[in-house]
Amino acid sequence: SDFSDGEFGADPDYVKPDAYKDGEASYYFRVGENYIEIYDGGDFTPVFMKGVNMGVCDPSHFPGELAVTKDEYLRWFQYISEMNANCIRIYTIQNPAFYEAFYEFNSQAEKPLYLFHGTWYNEDILAETNDAFDEGLRAELKKEEEDTINLIHGNCVIEERPGHAFGTYTRDISQWVIGWILGIESEAPFVEGTNTKNPEKTSYSGTYFTAENVTPFEVFWAETSDEVASYEMEHYGLQRPMTYTNWPT
């Protein structure tokens, strides 16, 4: 479909494909030796990822306004596809319009776009504490992790909060979400503060992630990764690749 002409709508005949079943877990994506591999219903195919980072605003609006419309998203997805990219990375939860447009585009597109979804820390708490294990920061992060998992399965309602996405999320896009990119760029004071304030945290033993003889901040990585993997497995029986975001400095 040409999404520049205002003709939108999900394909009514679209049927969500089955995931690959491996014991109790199912998954659509896995990490191969050199490439991410996508399940095509019969086998896993290596795919080179060419992506676009996408924020939550457009010119003339602040990010906290989340002013991008569903129609704009649909046009952008078409432009991204036409330039031969095949995936999008978002940093945090978007308004329902993003996920509705993503579903509608992919249900009609010959070649779907894939998604890497991020989770966000509360930067106000982070700046005050510089401690990844602060109870307030961990509670908010855990809530965001669970909301993000639920909403990609079309099963989430988020109450209105200033500067944050909110609404009712009903579109199941989980078959196109390649993986989680957890967290934000971790500045040195945040890492150092976490390590200094939690010297006893040098290991973690979880259901899917373990860490031995590491720094407290690396324990935080393992702990949150395990939370995300465990929650999606418990509620949806799915697993997907996972990583953390960071920057060279």
Res 20: pLDDT:
97
pLDDT digits (tens, 9 = 90+) for 208-240: 999 999 999 999 999 999 999 999 999 999 999
Check residue 207 and give its pLDDT.
97
Contact status, residue 20 vs residue 37, Cβ threshold 8 Å: no
pLDDT at 134 over 80: yes
List pLDDT tens digits, range 14-69: 889 999 999 999 999 999 999 999 999 999 999 999 999 988 777 887 776 777 88
Reported as a single tens digit per residue, the pLDDT across 74-104 is: 999 999 999 999 999 999 999 999 999 999 9
HEC string of the chain equals: CCHHHCCCCCCCCCCCCCCEEECCEEECEEECCCCEEEECCCCEEEECCCEEEECCCCCCCCHHHCCCCHHHHHHHHHHHHHCCCCEEEECCCCCHHHHHHHHHHHHHCCCCCEEEEEECCCHHHHHHHCCCCCHHHHHHHHHHHHHHHHHHECCEEECCCCCCCCEEECCECHHHEEEEEECCCCCHHHHHHHHHHCCCCCEEECCCCEEECCCHHHHHHHHHHHHHHHHHHHHHCECCCEEECCCCC
Is residue 6 over pLDDT 60? no
Of all residues in the chain, the percent with pLDDT exceeding 70 is: 95
Statement: residue 5 has pLDDT above 60: no
pLDDT of residue 30: 97
Report field, pTM of the whole predicted structure over 0.85: yes
Q: What is the pLDDT of residues 23-32, one digit of tens each?
A: 999 999 999 9
Confidence check: pLDDT of 160 > 60: yes
Q: Is the pLDDT of residue 169 over 70?
A: yes
Does pLDDT of 7 surpass 70? no
Quote the mean pLDDT of the chain. Answer: 91
pLDDT band for position 2 (50/70/90)? low
pLDDT of 76:
93
Examine the pLDDT at 143 and tell me if it is beyond 80: yes
**Using 50, 70 and 90 to split pLDDT, how confident is the model at 248?**
confident
What pLDDT sits at residue 4?
53
pLDDT of residue 171: 95
